[in-house]
Each structure stands twice: as structure tokens, then as C-alpha cells.
């Protein structure tokens, strides 16, 4: 990761307009069809939340704006991405875990299980500082129609929130909110990301595990 000159990027105008805005965050809300993801989770005995995080990371890698992030008034260019998840620890409280994204879903799954397990046991956050981190929070026990994230003025990272999926006769739906800093991307980039996320959910296909 390294600092870049905003004027030499496609985010020059956005940096000038939104970097010091009192409320630079934008939230889009979309209902996704997660029927295929639920089937994969059940057949392969994998966590639904892990699969969601992997699809989020996979979709994000296809949009270059995800590799840039405003940090402390500067624009930082990252080489790689991580996806953060919230876990309940052994004391009944919560901690955050940053999971380095890997295109190898089995590797991502192994690291996800190892880091979330260690975090739950240690009751301490697992932070990655050299990757652009996409935050997530799954309120899987509750039905949520939408969520607007809080802007702290410290963390400008993109963030997704979802609740319990709704199962119908044939399809399962999940409402997701996506918050992002307007300096990092525009609404069109965010909407394309959500399109790509739905596409990754639809086409996910796990190769045989050779281990």
C-alpha cells in the first residue's frame, strides 16, 4: 500500500468534493437472491456467512475503486483486499476479524475458520492494516429490512450489513445494505458491485477439495 496523488486518479473530483464533507457516506440497499448460496452451504457443509464474505471479496476484486481508500485526508492505494466479519466471543461480546481474501475458496474457508475461532477464544480483534478491508456485519438471528451505517469520521471503509434471509417456496432472499465513502467510489460503482455480488452468488461452483 502507498499514498497516491488524487489529481492523478479518476477520483480527483470526488476527492475534492467529498473528502472533507460532513457526511460523505452513501448507502445502497438491495435484495439478493441467495438460493444457490444456501444450497452450496448445505451440500458442502460450509458456513453461509463465509460464502457471503468470499463472494463479496470476489466481486470487489473486479472493481478498481475498491483498491483506493481515503485515510486521514490522504488517498491510499492498496494491492489486496480483506473482508471483515463480526464474531461472538467466548464472553458473549463481539469482536471483528479481518480475513485476507483469496480467490481459492478452500484456502479462504480455512483461514476464515482459523481466524474467527482464534478471535472468539481470545476475545480480541484481528486487524489487517496492509489491505483494503471491506467490513461486514451479519445479524443472522434477526429480520432486517435495511440498515444505515454510522459514519465515525475515522474509518472510511466500505461496509455491508444483512440480517436473516427469508425463505419462500422456491427462493431465498437476503436484504443487504452497502455503505461506502463517496471519495472512494460513485453510486454507479457501488451498484455495479452489487450486480457483481449477485452474479458471484449465482455462479459459485466449488471444485473438488483435493485435501
Domain ranges of the chain: 2-203
Q: What is the mean pLDDT of residues 106-110?
A: 97
Q: What is the mean pLDDT of residues 175-196?
A: 97
Residue 152 has pLDDT above 80, yes or no: no
DSSP 33: E
Residue 115 has pLDDT above 90, yes or no: yes
Give the whole-angstrom CA distance, residue 209 versus residue 105.
Answer: 10
Q: What is the pLDDT of residue 97?
A: 97
pLDDT class of 209 with cuts at 50, 70, 90? low
pTM: 0.95
Residues whose CB falls within 8 Å of the CB of residue 75, separated by 6 or more in sequence, listed in order = 3, 4, 5, 6, 9, 11, 15, 68, 69, 183
Reported residue count of the chain is 211
Give the whole-angstrom CA distance, residue 87 versus residue 159.
Answer: 16
* Domain at 2-203: CATH architecture: 2-Layer Sandwich (3.30)
Residue 210 has pLDDT above 60, yes or no: no
Q: Which three cell numbers stand for residue 45?
A: 457443509
Give the whole-angstrom CA distance, residue 87 versus residue 22.
Answer: 31
CA 40 to chain centre: 19
pLDDT class of 169 with cuts at 50, 70, 90? confident
Q: What is the pLDDT of residue 149?
A: 76
Residue 211 has pLDDT above 60, yes or no: no
3-state secondary structure of 205: coil
Residue 14 has pLDDT above 60, yes or no: yes
Amino acid at each position: 500500500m502507498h499514498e497516491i496523488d488524487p489529481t492523478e486518479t479518476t477520483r480527483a473530483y470526488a476527492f475534492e468534493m467529498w473528502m472533507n464533507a460532513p457526511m460523505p457516506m452513501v448507502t445502497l440497499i438491495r435484495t439478493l437472491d441467495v438460493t444457490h448460496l444456501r444450497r452450496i452451504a448445505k451440500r458442502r457443509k460450509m458456513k453461509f456467512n463465509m460464502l457471503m464474505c468470499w463472494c463479496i471479496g470476489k466481486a470487489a476484486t473486479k472493481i478498481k475503486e475498491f483498491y483506493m481508500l481515503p485515510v486521514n485526508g490522504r488517498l491510499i492505494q492498496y494491492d489486496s483486499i480483506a473482508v471483515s466479519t463480526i464474531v461472538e466471543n467466548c464472553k458473549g461480546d463481539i469482536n471483528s476479524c479481518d480475513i485476507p481474501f483469496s480467490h481459492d475458496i478452500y484456502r479462504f474457508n480455512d483461514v476464515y475458520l482459523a481466524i474467527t475461532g482464534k478471535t472468539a477464544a481470545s476475545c480480541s480483534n484481528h486487524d489487517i492494516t496492509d489491505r483494503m478491508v471491506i467490513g461486514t456485519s451479519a445479524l443472522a438471528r434477526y429480520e432486517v429490512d435495511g440498515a444505515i451505517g454510522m459514519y465515525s469520521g475515522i474509518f472510511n471503509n466500505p461496509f455491508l450489513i444483512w440480517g436473516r434471509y427469508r425463505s419462500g417456496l422456491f427462493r431465498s432472499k437476503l436484504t443487504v445494505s452497502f455503505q461506502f465513502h463517496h471519495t472512494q467510489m460513485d453510486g454507479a460503482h457501488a451498484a455495479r458491485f452489487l450486480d457483481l455480488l449477485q452474479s458471484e452468488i449465482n455462479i459459485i461452483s466449488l471444485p473438488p477439495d483435493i485435501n
